[in-house]
Amino acid sequence: MKGIIFDIKKFAVHDGPGIRQTIFFKGCPMNCWWCHNPEGIKSHEEVVEVVKPLDDKVFIEKETIGKWMTVEDVMNEIEKETVFYDESGGGVTFSGGEPLNQFDFLLVLLQECRRKNIHTTLDTTGYCNEIKFRRLLGKVDLYLYDIKTIDDALHKKYTGVSNKVSLSNLRTLTEAKENIILRFPIIPGITDTSENINDLKAFLGSFNHNIKEVHLLPYHKIATNKYKRLHITNQMEGVRSLEKKDLTGLKTEFEKEGYIVKIGG
């Protein structure tokens, strides 16, 4: 069995507890305007130009983004860093793209990690049919669960898909008492409106759950170059990056709701 991976990041320190390794799955059903990893959207290999400067010269070469890897390949990479997981209480984080898009591949990796006692974190939007999704239960140590907008029309506009399945899968996880940290990207004018914040609070108040922690992820124009390289239109052109201080009000608001709130992961 093979999966397509577009990056493996060692010493990942913002994707869950301890020192982690993050495996980025290529392919995502959503197409968020603010995506930080646009190279993770398409589920096939993409060829881009890379620049290799040397002295006064510049070498421009083609490079393929996305690599088909076997479970064994990925596990070898994961296990290379075991000493860091053991020492720091870290592990592996599956992110993307959307890892659920390569569900069977993900499931085998999760099982392998469980067998080898490696802590797993799944960074997901939960966009996946419920029957499939239920197969994850009991196999993931921690979910970093992304919620963008509660209003479905807005969700469709800014991500290309409905949020219904994501929201209901979140309920499924909470019913199963899974460990969840909610991740909320703060996108100026899109997710940070008072309507959306109130909707989110109302949604979280509408059912019993064990979510204790919320991460507010400030918008950042980090990916500007990636958009250029991939020749994708950047819908966020001209929007400025947010700073920590821009989010302190929001942080207090969620803290009042009883959550542990962190800015950034």
**Which residues make up the interface to other proteins (CB under 8 A)?**
9-11, 13-14, 18-19, 52-55, 57, 59, 80-81, 83-84, 86-90, 217-218, 220-222, 224-225, 241-244, 263-265
Contact between 34 and 187 (Cβ < 8 Å): yes
Pick the closest to residue 203 from 127, 248, 145 (CA basis): 145
Contact between 92 and 79 (Cβ < 8 Å): no
Cβ closest to other proteins, residue 54 vs residue 131: 54
Cβ closest to other proteins, residue 38 vs residue 128: 38
Cβ closest to other proteins, residue 1 vs residue 13: 13
Find the shortest distance in angstroms from Cβ 18 to other proteins: 7
Amino acid, single-letter form, for residue 115:
R
Cβ closest to other proteins, residue 97 vs residue 218: 218
Find the shortest distance in angstroms from Cβ 12 to other proteins: 8
Pick the closest to residue 88 from 14, 148, 153, 20 (CA basis): 20
Cβ closest to other proteins, residue 60 vs residue 131: 60
Find the shortest distance in angstroms from Cβ 9 to other proteins: 8
Find the shortest distance in angstroms from Cβ 90 to other proteins: 8
Find the shortest distance in angstroms from Cβ 262 to other proteins: 8
Find the shortest distance in angstroms from Cβ 163 to other proteins: 23
- Tokens 């898009």 belong to which residue? 101
Contact between 28 and 6 (Cβ < 8 Å): no
Find the shortest distance in angstroms from Cβ 36 to other proteins: 9
Cβ closest to other proteins, residue 37 vs residue 169: 37
Cβ closest to other proteins, residue 111 vs residue 224: 224
Q: How far apart are the first and last CA of the chain?
A: 31
Residue 11 corresponds to which tokens in the numbers above?
Answer: 């010493």
